[in-house]
Structure 1
């Protein structure tokens, strides 16, 4: 894909192998009349907003489930429902989601995509962050409470820093999921400047032609950053998920 992205259209379709270095494909996708630059920005905003919302909500929810002495039945019900939502194919929920977003004028907006991605990534985030909070001794919370700290301060100053590695792992996983999401962007936007970059890539497959060079260039722009993030953060992801999965 990287090699095709830096070749001229003539070299790509040539019957013999040749490498004709060219930046024409990147010039095409980032032309002022093209929408790919806007779509990349849309994806970045979508990832940052959905990941931030997911982390904030999941941190409070998982801390409550782990440390605030809910009954075992309540915790089990919440975790079971969260787990079930993960196995429901999103396509089966699209009609209802479309009507809901339509009623709130969120179809075709980044706000609607942010909410959808937050909802569908929240169950995993809550489950994993809850298990990570379980590894933190409850005595720390009790000591801080005895010293006069309120619940919010205990959460912010004591528990949250200790859970930071697990939350970071969940943040990276969520960002990758949101960046790669395609179905919601395809269904809930009209394409063009409203859509994320994953939808823009699919638009390059047209009835009259397939723009292999432009598609490879957009693929490099979208895939390489997230691959590098996964490689660099691999140790953090593994450490956060495995430590949170086993109560020490």
Structure 2
């Protein structure tokens, strides 16, 4: 993919392989009248917004389920519901979500895609947050309460730092899921400058032509962040699973 991205169109289809380095494919992607640059920016904004919402809401929900004394029946019911949502094919939920977003004017913009991606990723984030907060001893919360700390201060200054590796792992996983999302970007936008880059890649396959060079170039642009996140995620997930609150 990288080799094709830096080849000229003539060399890509030439039966005699030879390396002729060129930035032609990247220049075609980012011409003044092209929308791929804006689509990359859209994807970045969607990833940042949806990941931040999932981390904030998921952290509060996970901490509440883990340490605020909910009954086992309530906790298990919530976790079971969140887990079941992950098993439902997204396509079955898209029509109803489309109607809701249309009523609130959220179609065809980044804000709508941020909320839609949050809806689909928040249940998993909450489940994982709950399990990570379970590794933090409740005695630390009780000690903070005895020292006069409010629940919010205990959450922010005592419990969250100890669950930080797990929270980071959830954030990385969520970011990867949102970055790769295609269906909602296709359905909830009309394409063009409103869409994420995953939808833009599909437009490079046309009835009369397949733009192999630009397709490889945009593949490089979109794959590199994922590769880096996977490398980081491997370390963070291991740290999140093995690190407890033994530091106190």
- Which position in structure 2 is the counterpart of 1:107? 107
The whole-number CA distance in structure 2 between the counterparts of 1:206 and 1:243 is: 50
Report the count of equivalent residues: 244
Equivalent position of 2:13 in the other structure: 13
Take 2:114 and 2:139, find their aligned partners in 1: how far apart are those partners? 37
SS of the residue corresponding to residue 111 of structure 1 reads helix
- Summarize the alignment of residues 3-152 of structure 1 with structure 2, pairs less than 5 Å apart: 3-152=3-152
Q: Is the 8 A contact 2:46 2:114 kept in 1?
A: yes
Deviation string 1:185-224 (CA, Å, 9 cap, x unpaired) is 0110000000000000001001110000000000000011
TM-score (norm. length: structure 1): 0.96
Match of 2:237 in 1: 237
Q: CA deviation at 1:233?
A: 3.4
Deviation at 1:25, TM superposition (A): 0.4
Structure 1 residue 19, shift from structure 2 partner: 1.6
Q: Which runs of 4+ in 1 moved over 6 A?
A: none
Q: CA deviation at 1:239?
A: 2.6
Q: Give the superposed CA RMSD.
A: 1.1
Asked if structure 1 preserves the Cα contact closer than 8 Å seen for 2:173 and 2:233, the reply is no
Aligned partner of 2:211 in structure 1 is: 211
Q: Distance in 1 between matches of 2:240 and 2:186?
A: 32
Q: Return 5+ residue gaps in structure 1 as ranges.
A: none
The superposition leaves residues 49-90 of structure 1 with CA deviations (integer Å, 9 ceiling, x where unpaired) of 000000000000000000001000000010000000001000
